[in-house]
Chains A and B, each alone.
Chain A
Amino acid sequence: MKKYLFIFALLSAYQSFAQQKDSTATFKKRVLEATEVDFLISYYKQDGVHSAVSGGMGSEKLTDLASNIVVSMPMSADAILTVDAGLSAYTSASSSNINPFNSSGASGDDDDDDKAGTEPYGTPWLASSGASAQDALASVVINYSHSSDDRNFIWNADVAFSNEYDYTSIGFGGGVAKLFNQKNTELSLKANVYLDQWRPILPTELHEYDKYGSSFLNNGYFSGVTVYDQNGLASNAYLPSQFKDIQSVNRNSYSLSFSFSQILTKKLQLSLFFDVLQQEGLLSTPYHRIYFADKANYYIGQTQYIPVYETTENVGVYRLADDIERLPKSRFKLPIGVRLNYYINETFKLRTYYRYYTDNWGISAHTANIEVPIKLNDNFTVYPMYRYYTQTESKYFAPFETHVSTEKYYTSDYDLSTFSANQYGIGATYVDIFTKAHIWKFGLKNIDFRYNHYDRSDTLSADIVSLAFKFVMDK
């Protein structure tokens, strides 16, 4: 009997201890009260005249539809697990011209090499029917974060994976954040590694040269296809001898990010961001063509369009590449940014951002961003926004057909050229802190809409519209 009493006393003591522990836990505010789900969708379209696939000239028409679902779950009072899964599908006139010769090309997949026979034609100014005209990118990022009991120390770890037809990326990283000075100051440090891999797709003509060597004009895709010179005469002289096959397909990125946040007054706070980024491996894009100024020009298609090749009047001839872009195997990037937010009054707030960027490819850039949220009532806020960006060109950049074959590195990708860009738009936010609208167990907390127009000084223009819904699971 004494034994039973002893066990009963022990269990009671344990229960009372456990209750005491639980009651303590009840008073600890959870880092995340309930599961949150963000559903995001975006549509992007652009157009321009400097397609890198066609050597810095041609249509850059592109559309992209992207969506993400982000689920944040409280794993305990201190920990959050976030899963971010995304899918993005694009169509691109530029990418389609990896094989510009309609449906009879041989780029990438060897299976269609025997489809040659009819006289093919193409143009840098229109999308071809090549398989590379569209692709999809799937991605997932899983993040775990844990806060200390006093909420002044947070550590987190993440893994990331993304895949598209010719590219796979695996990433992982982690970071720490420390708050002090009554949570007025925050210091954080984050490190990330991305181990990426290309499955290179080459422009059709270089793919065939790579496959058959110097006899490529009589084999595969080129068998029975006439190549023309600048005068529109049939020629057998086209030989892209500068081209060498890609040896390494890896691209590794290492980053170290430091940030410092400070509340300056009751209405003013700032953040400083400082990143150190190192990239190594295949940093060029394998299907970006290069045309050398000191090499003769050769074409496939309808010769009457050769004199107007560089204009949109050309709807039937495509120039054969001398090589693909070549860039160094390493790049060191150094961006530093500052964000400053000011609470003007109940109605107006001011959000600003500035970044200076420099790298060892000779590029330096400035970015300035301003956003003015205007609170209309308890539920609605609208915010006009403006962003200015300017950069100097990479030392490896030159426009269409201006590189010479004696150079070691070359690109005609206008994303690496000198330009400035203006982006302006408007956003609107709907907030319902009581989450009255429901879908199943989830209450709608807010909706965020953004529209922006982007104009680059090299004539590229783009529009992007984004919509985000945040749902909170009922407790």
Chain B
Amino acid sequence: MNKVFSLIAVLFVLSSCTAVKEYEKEYINDPEMKLSAKTAERYEVTFQVYREAAAGANGGKTGGGCGCN
């Protein structure tokens, strides 16, 4: 439970950082800075889900399909 509270505390601290204004987001808005996986990366994620036991926590699909080939 302490770990959960620690995580919430860390999130609170992070979100209370000084906000970067819209006009200052030139670097953050660079296409390579996106916080999601790239479109063409989806097939790699699919084979990794098939060949490895771990899955999830990457913003992608979290179920469906047998993954049995």
Contact = CB atoms under 8 A, between A and B. Distances in A.
A257 to B, nearest CB: 6
Contacts of A373: 32
> Top 8 nearest A-B pairs by Cβ distance?
A253-B63, A337-B57, A335-B57, A357-B54, A42-B43, A468-B40, A365-B54, A255-B62
Interface string B19-36: 111101111101111110
Interface stretch (A105-113, A176-184, A205-213): A176-184
Contacts of A335: 54-57
Interface of B: 7, 11, 14-15, 17, 19-22, 24-28, 30-35, 38-44, 46-48, 50-59, 62-66, 68-69
Contact of B52 (A94, A339, A365): A365
A38 B51 CA distance: 26
A64 B69 CA distance: 10
Interface of A: 38, 40, 42, 44, 46, 62, 64, 66, 68, 70, 90, 92, 94-95, 135, 137, 139, 160, 162, 164, 166-167, 169, 171, 181-185, 192, 194, 196, 198, 251, 253-255, 257, 259-267, 269-275, 277, 279, 285, 333, 335-337, 339, 341, 343, 349, 351, 353, 355, 357, 359, 361, 363, 365, 367, 373, 375, 381, 383, 389, 391, 394, 415-416, 421, 423, 427, 429, 431, 448-450, 452, 454, 456, 460, 462, 464, 466-468, 470
B39 A468 contact: yes
A365 B51 CA distance: 13
Contacts of B42: 40, 68
Given A137-B65, A466-B44, A468-B40, A353 B58 contact: yes
A64 B53 CA distance: 20
Q: Which of B17, B28, B42, B54 counts the most chain A CB atoms within 10 A?
A: B54
